[in-house]
Structures are given as C-alpha cells and as structure tokens.
Amino acid sequence: GQNIDQPTEMTATEGAIVQINCTYQTSGFNGLFWYQQHAGEAPTFLSYNVLDGLEEKGRFSSFLSRSKGYSYLLLKELQMKDSASYLCAVFGNNRLAFGKGNQVVVIP
C-alpha cells in the first residue's frame, strides 16, 4: 500500500519562497509527481522525480530522496496566481497515489 503525508496549509507573501514537503511510504516506487490544483479545477502537472536530487523548472524545483521517502517542492518568486493546492503523488504498481495536498495562500 501507499501512505503519503503533506502539511495542510501555509500562507506566504508575494515574491517570497515557499517549500512544501511530502513524505511517503510505498510498496512500489516508479517516480514522484507534483501537481498544482486551483479550486474547482483538475490538477495540472508540475514536476516529476524518479532519481535522487533536484529537478529545476523555472520558478519551481522539486527534490527527491528515495532512501528517506521524502520530497519537497520549492516555489520561488511567489505570484498571486500560485495560490492553489499542491499535490504530491507517488507512482507505483500501475497507479498514482495522491497525498491530500497542501493549500498555499499567497498574500500581497
């Protein structure tokens, strides 16, 4: 089975940096995904990690440590449009299992 934990909510100021953590326990691992979900909308893909280390993609970076069952998503130069829920998801055994998501609220 899979167990994925994320903190529930955080508030940050426009222009700041925020780190969202995710820990997981899984019986099968083929990669970890981060998704962004705005209220009432479907999730959209942000990043994918399958090897340990940091993947950088513009203002967003994602880190993975497989031995620790840990990942984080780093959001830099926060913008108001970044206010959303950020979902950590582990792919294994032919399926993607999601955490409950972390709600990020960006304030001016």
Partner 1 sequence: SQTIHQWPATLVQPVGSPLSLECTVEGTSNPNLYWYRQAAGRGLQLLFYSVGIGQISSEVPQNLSASRPQDRQFILSSKKLLLSDSGFYLCASSPGAGENYGYTFGSGTRLTVV
Contact 5, 22 (CB under 8 A): yes
Encoded one letter per residue, x for contact with partner 1 by CB under 8 A and - for no contact, window 59-98 reads ----------------------------x-x----xxxxx
Q: Does 58 bind partner 1 (CB under 8 A)?
A: no
In order, the DSSP letters of 16-43 are --EEEEEEEEES--S-EEEEEE-TTS--
Which residue, 15 or 28, has its beta carbon nearer to partner 1? Answer: 28
Map residue 52 onto helix, strand or coil. Answer: coil
By the criterion CB under 8 A, which residues form the site for partner 1? Answer: 30-31, 33, 35, 40-46, 48, 50, 87, 89, 94-101
